Chains A and B, each alone.
Chain A
Amino acid sequence: MSSTEIDAQVSDEGRDLTLPTILVAGAMAIGVVLRATGLSYRPGVANWITVFIAVTIQAFPFLVLGVAVSGALATVLPPDLIRRALPRRSALAVPVAGLAGVALPGCECASVPIAGRLVAGGAPAPAALAFLLAAPAINPVVLIATAVAFPGRPAFVFGRFAASLATAVIVGWIWTRRERVTPTESRLDHDPSGSRFSRWSEAVIGDFVHAGGYLILGAATAATLQTVIPRSVLDSVAGSGVLAVIALAVLAVILAVCSEADAFVAAGLSQFSFTARLTFLVVGPAVDVKLVAMQVATFGRSFAFRFAPLTFAVAVLCASVTGAVLS
């Protein structure tokens, strides 16, 4: 498994070099060059840096919340609690886990490490995946934010709840028939000795650097795509039926904004149809570039690259059907 190879490599170098110190020094040196040559003031470069930092900063509190909870799942809760709490039959466990997402007031950055810990802790993978997809979309904070962003238009709130839950459950059920999901190995190891706090903080830090590193990769991808592809390209297809739906689905993937805030973005896309904007709200929390990067971190590359397209297709479908029914 290639991610393990990388792990081993870094472990090697990291031993005696205190890797972060050297990296910081190297990054700062590049920074000095960028500033001295005036390159960092070039509009495209400044744009990239701004978007990159913005995506990183907005995700940070949610990521910390997520790893605090996922750390607790791994160390504080009795190991088989989740397995016992879920219905034995997978067909039933999937919707139950999806609905349980209501209880996590975070965005997608929080739910990825938690879903990883759920699987590591013995929860059936399809159920954990349903939770992963549902939690960032249907929790009360996100629904209230959606209601605030669309005053007097509750169809957005209901539509989002229904289509996102449907997406989560359908993807979970589809995954029941597929292969097993194994979280990447590093998520499993924690020191059985030591106090509860020590084990928790270890899990928190482990999950943070793991998911955080991939989050940075996702933020860099989002910044690159946004700097290279002008928004006007996507906006130009506004209003033209199916194309508009696809355009906003793609926009949700490359914008990578947190689900707490995406409704305010959708509200600004007023030239698009109801269905297209609903699709934006349903796809965003389920598939976006930073989320896919974090899924690579948690479940491995081959999983993420099959899971993301499937989720994208199901989310667009669910949103379109819901949009057609409600509008």
Chain B
Amino acid sequence: MKRFPRLRLAGSDGELLAFLSGVNIIGVAITGRYRSFVKPSMGIWLLMSGILLTAISTLKLLRSQPEPDGHGDHEGHEGHEGLSHSHGHAHGIPAVAALLVLPVAALFVMGPRTLGSFAASRAATAPPPIDQTEFVPLAAGPDGAAEVTLIDVWYRANYDEKNSLSRQPLRMIGFVAPDPDAENPNAFLLTRFRIGCCAADALPVQIRILDPSARIAADQWVEVSGSYAGQVKQLPAIRNATARFISVPDDPFL
């Protein structure tokens, strides 16, 4: 074991693991990457807790450094006591603590893709019911189409007594999931996940795109324009659809 050079900074593994975790979370918070996993409102809490943990572990690492023979460095000769627990600082770190490096590695491994059609095909879809029956009219943009979110389409389709979706073309974004019920081979389910807290509780919101002009691969993010075609097999549907490829949005969740 001695042939591995020892890093002088290494006061203890625990502090390094805590430091690594803190820096990782700060990075995720600052780059905005956290929004692929949790609600945007979590950002400030992630940043604050990351800074706190990083600061504490940095102080600890710096303080334990200047005592090579003293108290801060006495692990070496106590490490072989077998079952008896050693005392003092830097001890009692269980093996599982090493797992703290996993999130760092997982973030590194992960591509730009977040939850996709795989997860969407495995969950039922039904946003919670609402009491609302009055909706503000949709505002059409310069090209005459109104920008809407999928959840907005869902609620208006199910609850709007004035049928505001039918009054103008619609434009919305989401990713492509296969439509198992469709006859048209190009048809797909335009999908976005709604999260209560994080990607672990994501539930898909889906609407049917009935007649795209070409077949689009699953999980591709698209901006779809088209007209509301009423409910088809219990989902709101869009016809006369055109789709434009887009990259994964910064806020993939609803």
Whether both chains belong to one complex is answered with yes
A232 touches B75 (CB 8 A): no
B200 touches A54 (CB 8 A): yes
Chain B interface category by residue count: 35 or more
A41 within 8 A of B: yes
A7 touches B85 (CB 8 A): yes
Within 8 Å by CB of B6, from A7, A16, A20, lies A16
Which residues of A214-249 are within 8 A (CB) of B? 214, 216-217, 220, 222-223, 226, 230-232, 235-236, 238
Given A20-B16, A24-B104, A213-B99, CB of A261 within 8 Å of CB of B198: yes
B136 within 8 A of A: no
- A43, B29: Cα distance in complex, Å: 25
B116 within 8 A of A: yes
Within 8 Å by CB of A47, from B6, B42, B119, B201, lies B119
- A186, B81: Cα distance in complex, Å: 15
B199 within 8 A of A: yes
Minimum distance in angstroms from B68 CB to a CB of chain A: 14
Given A205-B56, A232-B124, CB of A210 within 8 Å of CB of B200: no
Residue of B nearest to A11 (CB): B79
Residue of A nearest to B115 (CB): A50
- A51, B200: Cα distance in complex, Å: 5
A267 touches B128 (CB 8 A): yes
B192 within 8 A of A: no
A257 within 8 A of B: yes
B111 touches A210 (CB 8 A): no
Secondary structure of the A contact surface, majority rule: helix
The residues of B that contact A8 with a CB separation of less than 8 Å are 79, 81-83, 85
Minimum distance in angstroms from B7 CB to a CB of chain A: 5
Instruction: Digitize A248-275: 1 where CB-to-B-CB distance is under 8 Å, 0 elsewhere.
Output: 0000000111101111110110110000
Which residues of B114-130 are within 8 A (CB) of A? 114-119, 121-124, 126-129
B85 touches A185 (CB 8 A): yes
Given A58-B42, A61-B42, A213-B97, CB of A256 within 8 Å of CB of B200: yes
B18-26, B179-187, B226-234, B237-245: which lies at the interface = B18-26
The residues of A that contact B81 with a CB separation of less than 8 Å are 8
B246 within 8 A of A: no
Given A8-B83, A10-B98, A209-B97, CB of A61 within 8 Å of CB of B46: yes
Given A231-B124, A255-B200, A265-B197, CB of A191 within 8 Å of CB of B88: yes
A28-36, A85-93, A94-102, A156-164: which lies at the interface = A28-36
The residues of A that contact B115 with a CB separation of less than 8 Å are 46-47, 50-51
Instruction: Digitize A6-46: 1 where CB-to-B-CB distance is under 8 Å, 0 elsewhere.
Output: 11111111111111110110011011001100001101101
A230 touches B122 (CB 8 A): yes
Q: Which 8 residue pairs spanning A and B have beta carbons closest together?
A: A186-B92, A261-B197, A264-B196, A43-B118, A27-B105, A54-B199, A213-B96, A230-B122
